Chain A
């Protein structure tokens, strides 16, 4: 069991040779960094604005509205999108959403299903990087070492006032004519799923009943002890135990190597790590408010940002074509349905189940 564990994730074969119980390697890997990469443009403004008069503030706001009003993309009739076919090997773009909390649904048999509500913010495509170009970047080179390269779609969410960001950050969006976004994300896609810049991506990008992977940063628990962090049992609460209730106990043998092994489980910072929750089923989509109800829970606290994309799990992958490359509302202006529920769910307001 332990050898299998160590083979699975470890770059060190030592674990396999010495047959240790604890998997020390994952706890040794650098799990988080608090600063953005040095190659990225500085995002937030460092200096505070001088006092501008109320008239001038209003004028600047009007200028911003005028500048970006005409650039809001239409329903998709203006954008030239090539009609490409979906096949099971296609990788579509994902979506940036905010976790707004949890809700419960009931299925027709009366079982409660806890769902996480994800609000898809105003996502727009910023740019598409074709595979040949993406492979040349440092991130792309790591990603596609010994694999066929794929393209990269840069998507932004949550448009904000350009005055809050630096000029370099706003320039990322000015080429496309969009208001600067608070969050940016990359999605690895096959070239047939490419989208032109300024395309909006909404909740309709997914199908009800589809499985998705949600990727986010876990809840930050801060500095935590060994019981909460690693699940140690600690010591007895009574029976004369002196000052040994939630401690780790022994940290080494004393004989072998005569030191503490690197990666020994100890108290430390817990949480605020990027994790995937895979294979979550979409139970309900509200097209009007761009909200997705996903079965289960999602990494991160309420109001944190997550990325959602089609699942990679082989048994839950998409078998039928989803809206490809993305969802475009019908041109008549009337949408088919505002709220789409999964067939197994009991819809609120419909006649209740009688047993």
Chain B
């Protein structure tokens, strides 16, 4: 019910605007306005959390590097990130680290370390099989996130785009996924459309944005995502599942902010070749965008990548979003 009323309202307002001859760029500006609003809330919350730290305390981080050599680094508590530790080690480690392992737990590279710990920095080609699968999942999760970020800004001004969510990363399915609601009834994208979205994706990725993580209260999150019906619905559920019962993890990459549970890669410079394989229509107006990507460190020939793309075209069997209102 809420959805239909909201949709009715948006069309109503659009009709009004066309009558008053201000029919250009209305929804597009809205996306930029929304993003600006979200970023201001994010920045405010970030500053507030930083100011909570009364004084800088020191912690000892035991970095386990190449050949199991351990180095002790003295870092700031609650402020220093594994990326800062990498900066103390070498440029190669700094540029190639994807995600960190803090006390055995997978950790974002730009997330502050709260206490004394052992640190491992994982690159795209780790030796350990288990570590490799974790890094792989992180990469796919980040690619899903980026797909959402790119799709939001890809459509024409008169089409409303509402991001729904993305399912957990599953490498075996062959593609990373984002479910989006578009105000298009029967859209069959052409080859050119795929290339265009992929080009926008590449452009965004080449700007080398870092993934900034923030744990916020569910009320702040609701304020941030009040214009997105689906996210507003999801936030209470996500908050109850968290450790404190009330927090929601939010990531910022460039101008885009989205909700995600798991760790993300350090920066978009780690993403290399990508291609949007397919767009499947799920239900009413929900479309499933599917893509496949490779890290920038790994290069395979075009034929092998073509095989990956063919596999990614099949409909991803991940859970479909349920629209409660319908």
Contacts and interface: CB of A to CB of B under 8 A. Distances in A.
Interface of A: 45, 47-50, 52, 56, 60, 63-64, 162-163, 166-167, 170
A49 B299 contact: yes
Contacts of A45: 301
A60 B302 contact: no
A85 B93 CA distance: 72
21 contacts: A45-B301, A47-B299, A48-B299, A49-B299, A49-B300, A49-B301, A49-B304, A50-B299, A50-B300, A52-B300, A52-B304, A56-B304, A64-B303, A162-B302, A162-B303, A163-B301, A163-B302, A166-B302, A167-B302, A170-B302, A170-B303
Interface string B291-307: 00000011111111001
A48 B301 CA distance: 8
A163 B299 contact: no
B32 to A, nearest CB: 36
A170 B303 CA distance: 9
B271 to A, nearest CB: 16
Contact of B304 (A47, A48, A60, A170): A60
A64 B304 CA distance: 10
Nearest to A168: B302
B9 to A, nearest CB: 47
Contact of B307 (A49, A50, A60, A166): A60
A135 to B, nearest CB: 30
B298 A163 contact: no
Q: Which of B297, B301, B302: most chain A Cβ within 10 A?
A: B301
Contacts of B300: 49-50, 52
A305 B307 CA distance: 33
Contacts of B302: 162-163, 166-167, 170
Interface in B138-160: none
B240 to A, nearest CB: 42
Nearest to A45: B301
Interface in B274-304: 297-304
Contacts of B303: 60, 64, 162-163, 170
A306 to B, nearest CB: 30
Which 6 residue pairs of A and B lie closest in terms of their CB atoms, listed nearest first? A167-B302, A163-B301, A162-B303, A163-B303, A50-B298, A47-B299
Given A48-B299, A50-B297, 5 more contacts: A45-B301, A47-B299, A50-B298, A50-B300, A163-B303
Contacts of B307: 60, 63
A121 to B, nearest CB: 22
Nearest to A163: B301
Contacts of B298: 50
A60 B301 CA distance: 11
A163 B305 CA distance: 10
Contacts of A50: 297-300
A45 B299 CA distance: 12
Nearest to A180: B303
Nearest to B304: A60
A37 to B, nearest CB: 22
A47 B305 CA distance: 14
Interface string B18-55: 00000000000000000000000000000000000000
A172 to B, nearest CB: 13
A170 B301 CA distance: 12
Contacts of A163: 301-304
B174 to A, nearest CB: 14
B314 to A, nearest CB: 15
A60 B308 CA distance: 11
Nearest to B125: A50
B261 to A, nearest CB: 30
A48 B298 CA distance: 10
Nearest to A162: B303
A47 B297 CA distance: 12
Contacts of A56: 304
A201 to B, nearest CB: 26
Contacts of A48: 299
Contacts of A63: 307
A247 B132 CA distance: 68
Contacts of B299: 47-50
Contacts of B297: 50
A192 to B, nearest CB: 37
A154 B302 CA distance: 24
Nearest to B306: A167
A49 B304 CA distance: 10
